[in-house]
Structure formats: structure tokens, C-alpha cells
């Protein structure tokens, strides 16, 4: 229960930070999708049914914050979690470059799933793909730092010693 509460608190902080960035005037294409980073971390650290439930609840949190009770973000984040959890035995995010590449493709795939599940955004115009690619690039740039912080936090909770060489490298 504590893991669920801490994950939901991290999701709430991520949503609040995205909202603050938008409120101070940062364009949508430059705001990183921190919830997707949380789901990426979950898909590599918590490859269980409980992890899938947490990914669904994070998607539900995003849907509720956008005034949709149960909608496309919950579905797209669960599909992302399932896909990355299946590939987690083959993919490794210890390197910053790998984390950035996985994050870039995850943000693009999540936004494509979101646009397929919900008819809120016009995909035909140039503005939506430009926004998605911008968010994917910005999220990929912050991914090594955020994922390494989440990995350190998970190791501390599990009691594992975190040395200088055991964390994710930024490059």
C-alpha cells in the first residue's frame, strides 16, 4: 500500500509540475511528460500485476486532471506498461542514451495511442505532431536524470547500497 501511495504522490507531483510549467507560459511542446517517465520506471522496476494497476491509476490521474473520468490516457499508459514490461528482459535502461531512446519512442507511441483512443486532438494538422515530437525530445532529454533518481529511490527503499557507479549514467 505504501508503494501505491508513493507512486501516486510522484504522479501528482509530476502533474503539478507540468501544470506549473504550462501556467508560467512554457509552450506545450517544451513540457516533458513526466507521467510517461514514471510508467517507464514502473515497467522496468515493477513487472507485476500491481505495476500494471499503478500504471492504470496514473493514467486515471491524468484523465481526471483533464476532466475525463476514464479515458484514453489510462488505456495508453497501460498498453505502454505492458509493452515495455514484455520487453524489459531484453531492454536495459542503465545507460542514459538507452533511456533517452526508449523514452522518445514511448512518448510518441503513447501519444499515438491517446489520439487513437480519444478524438480530442486533430491529428491531421501539423501542430499536433509538432507538439508530440517536441514533448518526446524534451522528455528524452530529462529522462536519464529522472530515471536515475527514481532508480536510486527504489534501491534505497529496498535497502540496496547505491554507490557512485551503480546509478544510471547521463550519457
Q: Could you write out the three-class secondary structure of 68-101?
A: CCCCHHHHHHHHHHHHHHHHCCCCCCCCHHHHHH
Of residues 119 and 63, more confidently modeled? 63
pLDDT computed for residue 166 by the predictor: 46
**pLDDT above 80: residue 52:** yes
pLDDT computed for residue 13 by the predictor: 92
pLDDT computed for residue 7 by the predictor: 86
SS3 string, 2-64, reads: HHHHHHHHHHHHHHHHHHHHHHCCCCHHHCCCHHHHHHHHHHHHCCCHHHHHHHHHHHHHHHH
Cα–Cα distance between 3 and 81 in angstroms, integer? 17
pLDDT computed for residue 123 by the predictor: 61
**pLDDT above 80: residue 67:** no
User: What is the mean pLDDT of the segment spanning 127-151?
Assistant: 90
Cα–Cα distance between 75 and 119 in angstroms, integer? 14
User: What is the mean pLDDT of the segment spanning 53-63?
Assistant: 91
Closest by CA to 95, choosing from 106, 103, 87, 86, is: 103
Mean pLDDT of the chain: 84
pLDDT computed for residue 121 by the predictor: 59
* Dihedrals phi, psi of 53, to nearest 5 degrees: -65, -40
User: What is the mean pLDDT of the segment spanning 73-102?
Assistant: 87
Amino acid at each position: 500500500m505504501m508503494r501505491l501511495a508513493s507512486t501516486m504522490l510522484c504522479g501528482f507531483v509530476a502533474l503539478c509540475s507540468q501544470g506549473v510549467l504550462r501556467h508560467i507560459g512554457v509552450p506545450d511542446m517544451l513540457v516533458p511528460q513526466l507521467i510517461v517517465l514514471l510508467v517507464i520506471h514502473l515497467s522496468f522496476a515493477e513487472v507485476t500485476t500491481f505495476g500494471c494497476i499503478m500504471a492504470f491509476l496514473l493514467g486515471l490521474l491524468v484523465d481526471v486532471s483533464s476532466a475525463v473520468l476514464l479515458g484514453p490516457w489510462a488505456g495508453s499508459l497501460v498498453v505502454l506498461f505492458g509493452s515495455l514490461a514484455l520487453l524489459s528482459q531484453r531492454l536495459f535502461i542503465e545507460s542514459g542514451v538507452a533511456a533517452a531512446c526508449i523514452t522518445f519512442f514511448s512518448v510518441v507511441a503513447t501519444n499515438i495511442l491517446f489520439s487513437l483512443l480519444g478524438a480530442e486532438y486533430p491529428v491531421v494538422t501539423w501542430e499536433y505532431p509538432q507538439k508530440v515530437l517536441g514533448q518526446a525530445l524534451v522528455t528524452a532529454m530529462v529522462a536519464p536524470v529522472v530515471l536515475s533518481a527514481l532508480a536510486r529511490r527504489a534501491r534505497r527503499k529496498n535497502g540496496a547500497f547505491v554507490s557512485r557507479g551503480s546509478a544510471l549514467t547521463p550519457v
